Amino acid sequence: MEKIVILTGAGISAESGLSTFRDEGGLWSQHAIEDVATPEGFARNPRLVHDFYNARRANAGRVKPNAAHQALARLETEHPGEVLIITQNVDNLHERGGARGVLHMHGSLFGALCNACGHRWEAPPRMHPDDPCPACAAAATRPDVVWFGEIPYGMEVIDPALNAADLFVAIGTSGNVYPAAAYAQHCRRLGARTVELNLEPSANTRDFDERRHGPASRIVPAWVNEVLSA
Ligand code: BJW
């Protein structure tokens, strides 16, 4: 049975109304990466970082999954082989679109993490630098997301899945952030077929055997239909 690994990025949630990072008008044109997406930025100004993630958490709660999220949930249910959905996204639109086994390699807007003791819990709608950790009471709480210089989550699941994949598909990701940006090349070297589904060619488009360009809500359901009817 064909083993499929799917990697998704901000582009799959764009048509739901969530901003991407590197497109024109994207999050990195409005916020400095080093201020809001590094441990050093958080140490300098935790309030600014909490405000950035509080606003994104509120936005993510207001929007709905689109046809691309729903199509991947259908693939997960109906494909007779294994399907692993790895997302770099911190929203929960895959789950709300019906997917069950989603691996959030860059964490989640809906999680809180204590920098002092490592305890994790469900994030309140608004987080604040003075919030005490429910386990150790330290005022050291942060969003449970993976910033630059930190190790992504789930590597112990991701690495073996990439090694065993027959088909690797990247959806809505620009191919600028590692380790995710290296996955297509890695899988292809091990003999998997690689497919890019993105609005435009990504930075690593040469690592893909097949490329389809267009909005995710159109090209992902069409691709899923083809896979399930093959
Ligand atoms: C559509 C669409 C539509 C639009 N339909 N498509 C030098 C060389 C190599 C690596 C490094 C280096 N220096 C440092 C590094 C490592 C560093 C890194 O990659 N830096 C690069 C900038 C070079 N990486 C790290 O530090 C990572 N950790 C790490 O490497 O640890 C070491 C280690 C790894 C493994 C094992 C052991 C050790 C951590 C990276 C953390 C990234 N964090 C962020 C922010 C936190 C989460 C959040 O706030 O949301 O994660 S950055 C940001 O970028 C976010 C995203 O998940 C990530 C990827 O962005 P994505 O999803 O690709 O979005 P965009 O906007 O870039 O692209 C959107 C795409 O969609 C575009 O192509 C559009 O065309 C398309 N699109 N509309 C279809 N409708």
Q: Give residue-wise pLDDT tens across range 104-149.
A: 999 999 999 999 999 999 999 999 999 999 999 999 999 999 999 9
Same domain, residue pair 168 and 186:
yes
Contact 13, 89 (CB under 8 A): yes
Same domain, residue pair 82 and 58:
no
Same domain, residue pair 220 and 135:
no
Contact 91, 60 (CB under 8 A): yes
- 141-169 in b/e form (b: 16+ CB < 10 A) is bbbbbbbeeeebbeeeebeebbeebbbbb
Indicate the Cα dihedral angle 32, 132, 119, 90, nearest 10°.
-30
CATH code, domain with 134 = 3.30.1600.10
Same domain, residue pair 214 and 127:
no
Same domain, residue pair 136 and 167:
no
Pocket of ligand 1 (CB under 6 A): 9-11, 14-15, 20-23, 26, 37, 88, 90, 106, 145-152, 155, 172-174, 176-179, 198-200, 202, 215-216
Show the domain range for 225. 1-17+65-106+152-230
**Two tokens, residue 191:** 């003999």
> What does the DSSP assignment read for 125-137?
SS--TTPPPTTT-
Please state, in angstroms and as integers, the Cα–Cα distance from residue 81 to each residue in 2, 42, 55, 88, following that order. Answer: 5, 42, 38, 23
How remote is the CA of residue 84 from the centroid of ligand 1, in Å?
19
* pLDDT on residue 1: 82
Residues in contact with 50: Cβ distance below 8 Å, sequence separation at least 6, in sequence order: 126, 127, 128, 129, 143
Same domain, residue pair 116 and 44:
yes
CATH code, domain with 173 = 3.40.50.1220
Low-confidence ranges of the chain (pLDDT < 70): none
Same domain, residue pair 215 and 139:
no
* pLDDT on residue 230: 86
Structurally, how many domains does the chain consist of? 2
Of ligand 1's atoms, which has the minimum distance to the CA of residue 202? Answer: 73
**Two tokens, residue 220:** 């992902």
Count other Cβ atoms within 10 Å, centred on residue 122: 9
106 labelled catalytic: yes
**Helix H or strand E encompassing 7:** strand 4-8
Same domain, residue pair 55 and 140:
yes
Please state, for a pLDDT cut of 90, what percent of the chain lies above it.
99
Q: Atom 21 of ligand 1 has which residue's CA nearest to it?
A: 177
Please state, for a pLDDT cut of 70, what percent of the chain lies above it.
100
How remote is the CA of residue 97 from the centroid of ligand 1, in Å?
23
